[in-house]
Amino acid sequence: MVLLYTESLEAPTTLTATCFDNGNYTVGQINVRKSSGSIPNPPLFIVHPKEKGTYPVILFLHGFSIPNHSYSDLFEFIASHGYIVVAPGQTLFGLVTGLCICSAVGDVEDAAETANWITNNKGENLQLVLPNNVSPDLDKVTLAGHSKGGKAAFALALGHASTSLKFKALIGLDPVAGPDNANRLEPKILNYIPQNFNLDMPVALIGTGLGDDGCCGCFPPAAPWGCNHPFFFNECKPPSCYFVAKDFGHMDMVNDWLVRLSGMFVCKTGNGSKADMRRACGGIFVAFLKAYLFDDDEDLTTIVNSPNLVSPIKLDPVLWIKS
């Protein structure tokens, strides 16, 4: 059974949430290709602040066949708030394997390989590819993912592949467990039992209202009912947060070129500003991580109490279960 929630009452219009504004850091991008045994098998796309400092790390797993670079606008927004985003790419072997056997096992193993690369040698691997004045804080690492990558992120957090990297938080961006509840991808993690996930970290779920709608009557939903965000959230233990971008589709947070392409052939897209959708998703990332990595819950509290006075898009429902 999926639990239903309603958003909180709105507060005075003077409220703001700075997490939805661009951050104060300038950002840079790095592409890390497979070149030696010291680099993980998946190629890496890294977005980071340019200013000198030590920053939390977000390991972000892309959706099925989605290029990791196509999230660059979202990553740049998050990095501008002081985060290093590490996004493994798709290997040809992983793509073919996923197509042929309809499994996410390879995605989870690739994610574990990247996680181990990050943490090995006390972070020196990641440090070597970053600018000299930018350092990763391996005590503040978040695991996140979109679509099939969201499911892979949950699977890695649940121990379906081995990693020594300790994650402090988990964020699922419209995660998808499979084409339908009878054909969930391996490793199967949804059991449809409330608070069933054995996770020792706070979790945030960002869902889309149109993700379980088909495209043009010809294509099945990209995030089908029974395998999508409310079912993931239903199995999360507190502390957990839940936000649904009511008027947007499953791909509306990626870069514009891919939104347009996927909207024609793959999945339904919303009519609102995709830049606002990316800003909303990025702002939720920032607010959630400020609360659980830095003990600053002002923005998260404001979003939960008055989502549609501060968010650039309509969020409904919104929920924060603290304990």
Contact indicator for 249, 267 with CB cutoff of 8 Å: yes
Residues 6+ apart with CB under 8 A from 321: 238, 239, 240, 241
The pLDDT, as a whole number, for residue 95 is 56
Residue 44 phi/psi, 5° resolution?
Answer: -115, 140
Per-residue three-class SS string for 94-152: HHHHHHHHCECHHHHHHHHHHHHHHHHHHHHHHHHHCCCCEEEEEEEEEEEEECHHHHH
Q: What is the pLDDT of residue 39?
A: 63
Sign of CA pseudo-dihedral 224, 143, 49, 70: negative
pLDDT at 93 (0 to 100) = 55
Q: Give the pLDDT confidence score for residue 38 in this predicted structure.
A: 57
Buried b (16+ CB within 10 A) or exposed e, 251-273: bbbbbeebbeebbeebbbbbebe
Catalytic residues: 147, 174, 250
Note the pLDDT of residue 213. Answer: 86
pLDDT for 36 equals 47
Residue 241 and residue 206: Cα distance in Å, rounded? Answer: 8
Which pLDDT does position 121 carry in this prediction?
Answer: 83
Residue 199 in contact with residue 236, Cβ under 8 Å? Answer: yes
Written as tens digits, the pLDDT of the chain (323 aa) is 334 344 444 444 456 789 999 999 999 999 998 644 556 667 899 999 999 999 999 999 999 889 999 999 999 999 999 999 999 997 555 555 555 556 888 899 999 999 999 998 888 899 999 999 999 999 999 999 999 999 999 999 999 999 999 999 999 999 999 988 888 989 999 999 999 999 999 999 999 999 998 765 567 888 999 999 999 999 999 999 999 999 999 999 999 998 988 877 778 899 999 999 999 999 999 999 999 999 999 999 999 999 989 999 999 999 999 98
CATH topology of domain 18-321: Rossmann fold (3.40.50)
| Phi, psi (rounded to 5 degrees) for 128 | -65, -25
pTM of the model: 0.92
